[in-house]
Amino acid sequence: MSTGENNTLPKVALVGHPNVGKTTLFNQLTGERRKVGNYVGVTVEKVSATIFTPHGHQMELVDLPGCYSLTPESPDERVTRDVLLGDFAEESRPDLVINVVDAASLERHLPLTLQLIELGLPVLVALNQVDRAEAAGLRLNPQVLSDELGVPVVACQATSGKGVVQLKQALRFPLPPPAERRWKGSTALEHAVAELSKKLATLGMERPKVHALQLLGDTDYRVKVQPKLPREAQIAAREAAAACIKENLVPEDEIIKLRTQTIRRAITAATHTMRNEGETLSDKIDRVALHPIGGWFFFAAIIFAIFWSIFRFAEIPMHWVELGVGHTKDWVGGLLPDGDLNSLLTDGIIEGVGAVVIFLPQILLLFFLIGLLEGSGYMSRATFLMDKVMAQVGLSGKSFLPLLSGYACAIPGVMATRSINSNKQRLLTILVLPWQSCTARLPVYAILIPLLIPSVLGQTTMMFFIYFLGTGTALGVAWLLSKRIGVGEAAPHFLLELPPYRLPDFSYVFRHVLDRALAFLRKAGSLILGIVILLWALGTYPKAPSGEEQDQFNYSAMGRIGHFIEPVVKPLGWDARLGTATLASFAAREVFVSQVAVSFAVEENEDDDETFRAQIRTAMTDAKKSDGSPAYPPLTVLSVLIFYIYALQCLPTTAVVQRETKSWKWALAQLAGMSLFAYLAALIVYQGGSLLGF
């Protein structure tokens, strides 16, 4: 699949460990132009860009997912291996690999370099973080390292742009010749590789030598099911490995030993360490951040600061969105004559979509702050600390970031679970994640809580209790489910790199936030748009003969559905209006507010959201049953509140869960399970409260 065959641009792939500065280098090389897509068949992001070399040649640069080796553990790493082996049918094999290596930690990074060289691809080593290595007392000679490895080596510091020009110049045509393996095995091993590669060639496999070495060097690759590898190749490899073991040769062990020897030789020749026992800045920060007691205070302060900023600073842009929606509604409403089209555009589309867009500032602010935590290196420390808590309920420390994101929106939270290596822990995290109180629930709480508690202090306490209840239930259910799913036996042991603290790469953080914004608007927006149009139609047709707005709800399809489902919601203390509002909000919970407003014929006040909410609350307080008693006593309101804390009312989340778990079974089981849980919780609260005389 070389350039000549498919007549496309030469492809250069960036490969390296996670946190090595690959993305920063990618941005330096591309000037931050990039295209984000997905690898076909897997939910792994593909980041690429077209670049020009200083000699005017055009190339495609691909940032492959970070990996520690070519013997993968996670889906991301598997993509990297399969693309490099040329086994990814939809993706051509790179023509050159730039291996990004941390100069301060060569012993840890060179094993991957040797594996890349063994692939028979041209390799160029980018020796990153040279400044940090020098500060740590390490003297490096890139030329000697290049001689030892047999590939070009360019020293650089991606964060400051040092060495990037030299790296670009090294991408000259013709590309360097394919690198050659740097070690020679025992006669038995070399014989096994040669024999296996012959067999693979007869099976019609491309690059038989490369595949033979990969198969003998990685037990999982030849034993576990590999979608990109023919079964016959695995059978041949297992036979070859068995023959080696008969001769007291474990092929993977010998290969590792030979690579280690080669690396040690290269490092001894190319580096010189000046003893530097001084404590780094990271060590000093870690003495506080990872202190057994002080570390928790530090952690709590950071989490508190995040939430405080979200509620404090997001208010301002949220008000702008609110004003914008109001003005757009007025403007569009004024352009068209009164009628169904006007109502569809203003009451349906603009108001419905506006109700979702209003959460954008909160979501973006949370992502920005999470991006800062990740970029600065603190997120790994938080993961380390939280592992102690998470392990008690069967989750891993790596579940912490997704659960934290869940406070903004469950969708990115579910996507963030990809970093969890254990499939079972990942599934468990996804299943309980929607119980984290997301921002879409806030407008519902803003209507209901003041109906229960008039004082501001009481309302704040109630809000805290709601967050606590959601997270507490998520962790409790995770504990129960972990026993059922059998997480305990299968959970991999905790192993995590704690990168040095650094200043976040702001351009990366901002772009990440922008990507999230667009994804949120695209995914939620398109679905919400469809739903609001449907809800508008159900609420508008058929038209009440009297033409009065109060009668319209009962006469409309929505009102009829409400009366139909009333027997189901009656045991919760709800009437048809609450029933339909809840049913409608199964698509997206924020629809509750507009649906209640429509059913009580409350007009939206474009200048002041609180007045609008107060009007809804007054309408709810004044509503009476046929016997004259209040339609919504506090117990009913509490029952609605409990239902909204627990129910999964967000179709985009269900769609994302299906995509991430590749199973409708889990996605629908989660939807059904959480809905039932919410119903039962609301039932217990209402019926229990009634029995106690509330």
Residues forming contacts to other proteins in the complex (CB under 8 A) are 68-69, 71, 73, 102, 104-108, 111, 136, 253, 256-257, 260, 264, 282, 286, 290, 292, 380, 384, 387-388, 391, 397, 492-500
d(CA 406, CA 73): 25
Enumerate residues 6+ apart whose C-beta is below 8 A from 329.
346, 350, 351, 354, 604, 606
- End-to-end Cα distance, the chain: 74
Nearer to other proteins, 16 or 499 (CB): 499
At residue 272, the 3 state secondary structure works out as strand
Q: Which is nearer to other proteins, 273 or 526 (CB)?
A: 273
Which CB sits closer to other proteins, 110 or 438? Answer: 110
CB of 14 to other proteins, least distance (A): 19
User: Which segments of 203-314 does DSSP mark as H helices, in order?
Assistant: 208-217, 219-223, 231-246, 251-270, 281-289, 294-313
User: What is the separation of C-alpha 16 from the centre of its chain, rounded to a whole number of angstroms?
Assistant: 20
Query: Shortest Cβ distance from residue 660 to other proteins (Å)?
Result: 24
- Report the relative pairing of strands 96-102 and 123-128 from DSSP bridges: parallel
Find the shortest distance in angstroms from Cβ 104 to other proteins. 5
> Least distance in Å: CB of 298 to other proteins?
15
Closer residue to other proteins (CB): 111 or 504: 111
Closest to other proteins by CB, 184 vs 287, is 287
| Cβ–Cβ < 8 Å for 623, 617 | no
Residue 573's Cβ-count burial label (10 Å; 0-12, 13-18, 19+) is buried
Supply the minimum distance, in Å, between the C-beta of residue 136 and other proteins: 5
The least CB distance from residue 375 to other proteins, in Å, is 17
- Is residue 36 packed enough to be buried (19+ CB in 10 Å), middle (13-18) or exposed (0-12)? middle
Nearest to other proteins of 133, 475 (CB atom)? 133
Q: Where are the beta strands (DSSP E) in 70-205?
A: 96-102, 123-128, 138-140, 153-155
Peptide bond into 174 cis (omega under 30): yes
Q: How far is the CB of 16 from other proteins (least distance, A)?
A: 13
In 3D space, the residue among 360, 282, 375, 298 whose CA is nearest the CA of residue 324 turns out to be 360
Minimum CB distance to other proteins, residue 436 (Å): 24
CA distances (Å), origin 538, targets 175, 268, 282, 353, 526: 64, 75, 59, 17, 19
Q: Residue 19, by phi and psi: left (phi above 0), alpha (psi -120 to 50) or beta?
A: left
Q: Bridge partners of 157?
A: 162
Q: Contact 418/661 with Cβ under 8 angstroms?
A: no
Measured from the CB of residue 368, what is the shortest distance to other proteins in angstroms?
A: 26
Q: Are 180 and 123 in contact (CB under 8 A)?
A: no
Of 183, 185, 187, the residue nearest 266 (C-alpha)? 183
Q: What is the CA radius of gyration of the chain?
A: 30
Q: Smallest gap, in angstroms, from Cβ of residue 65 to other proteins?
A: 15
CB of 649 to other proteins, least distance (A): 37
CB of 493 to other proteins, least distance (A): 4
DSSP conformation class of 347:
I
Rounded to 5°, the CA angle 121-125-126 comes to 140
Comparing CB distances to other proteins, the nearer of 256 and 529 is: 256
86 vs 499 by CB, closer to other proteins: 499
Q: Give the nearer residue to other proteins in terms of CB position, either 280 or 605.
A: 280
Nearer to other proteins, 126 or 355 (CB): 126
If you ran DSSP here, which 8-state letter would residue 161 be given?
T
Q: In whole angstroms, how close is the CB of 472 to other proteins at the nearest point?
A: 22
Residue nearer to other proteins on the CB measure, 111 or 317: 111
Q: CB-hemisphere CA count at 13 Å for 495? A: 7
Minimum Å gap between C-beta 138 and other proteins is 8
The torsion of the CA quartet 331, 332, 333, 339, rounded to 10 degrees, works out to: 170
Host H or E run for residue 672:
helix 664-691
71: left (phi over 0), alpha (psi -120 to 50) or beta: beta
- Residue 370 beta carbon to other proteins: minimum distance, rounded to whole angstroms: 20
CA dist 22 and 571 (Å) reads 58
Q: Which is nearer to other proteins, 129 or 661 (CB)?
A: 129
Collapsing DSSP to helix, strand or coil, 279 comes out as coil
Residue 409 phi/psi, 5-degree rounding, is -165, 135
- Cα–Cα distances in angstroms (integers) from residue 304 to residues 171, 286, 298, 301, 470, in the given order: 48, 20, 10, 5, 17
Q: In terms of CB distance, is 340 or 497 closer to other proteins?
A: 497
Q: What's the min distance (Å) between Cβ of 73 and other proteins? A: 7
**Closer to other proteins at the Cβ: 290 or 517?**
290
Can you say whether residue 227 is alpha, beta or left, with left for phi > 0 and alpha for psi between -120 and 50 degrees? alpha
- Considering the complex, state which of residue 189 and residue 451 has its C-beta at the smaller distance from other proteins: 189
Give the full edge-to-edge strand order of the sheet including 153-155: 35-38, 45-52, 58-63, 11-16, 96-102, 123-128, 153-155
The amino acid at residue 325 is V
Of 316 and 495, which has the nearer Cβ to other proteins?
495
Query: Hey, what are 230's tokens?
Result: 């023919």
Instruction: Report in angstroms how near the CB of residue 79 gets to other proteins at its nearest.
Output: 17
Which residue's CB is nearer to other proteins, number 106 or number 395?
106
